[in-house]
Amino acid sequence: SPTIGVLSLQGDVREHVHALEAVGARAVGVRRASELEAVDALVIPGGESTTIDKLLRAFDLFDPVQLRLRQGMPAYGSCAGMILLADRVIGAIEGQRTLGGVDITVRRNAFGRQVDSFETDLTIDGVDDSAHTPLHAVFIRAPWVEEVGPAAAVLGRVDGGPSAGRIVAVRQGPLLVTSFHPEVTGDTRVHRLFVQIVRDSL
Ligand code: GLN
């Protein structure tokens, strides 16, 4: 089974490790370049994208992770991780950078402030049976995807309510990003999809 690193600088690392192990992957924390070299793929957790950006640079990981991404390493980013894998960000704080890789523009904190965090059911392309058994999705100060370039494919949108139609899941080759946090719900289907993407890339 593939070895999947979880970037362990800030955010909900442990939840991703558990979800990956539940679907049969080997999950290891990554906080240094030598650990990055040992993994087949990387998960960038939810948390705070500006903090993770700063810590990537403080731990001398920004350039090595970006290089691996450019070499085709599969990666999955949830929420803050989606922002870090996006090529463009609206609402970035001054000096905030992203690793990039996915040809999308995301809007930070698009759905509102912490109190406006919400949950909804989604159908996501590639997520096993989600047309029939929707994925329960948790959004916490989440970004949405405002613009999708030709290389990226939309996998899912919010179904109803005030944010209906907003794009919240995208795939570009071996890169997967979601606005929401499947790692906190116990539904492991998004992680299963990612592990399948990793297996197909090996
Ligand atoms: N608002 C956070 C950011 O901009 C993301 C929130 C999250 O990951 N739950 O990085």
Nearest CA, atom 9, ligand 1: 140
Q: Is the CB of 141 under 6 A from ligand 1?
A: yes
Query: Residues with catalytic annotation?
Result: 79, 181, 183
The CATH number that applies at residue 40 is 3.40.50.880
Q: Is residue 179 annotated as involved in ligand binding? A: no
Measure the CA angle with vertex 85, ends 82 and 88; round to 5°.
Answer: 95
Instruction: State which ligand 1 atom lies nearest to the alpha carbon of 83.
Output: 10
Structural domain span for residue 95: 3-201
pLDDT at 112: 74
| Residue from 109, 119, 146 to probe ligand 1 pocket by mutation (most atoms less than 8 Å from CB) | 109
Q: What is the per-residue pLDDT for 113? A: 64
Our measurement of the distance from residue 169's CA atom to the centroid of its chain's CA atoms, rounded to an integer in Å, reads: 9
Specify the 3-state DSSP secondary structure of 114: helix
**Weakly modelled stretches of the chain, pLDDT under 70:** 113-115
What are 41-61's pLDDT values in tens digits? 999 999 999 999 999 999 999
Domain count, the chain: 1
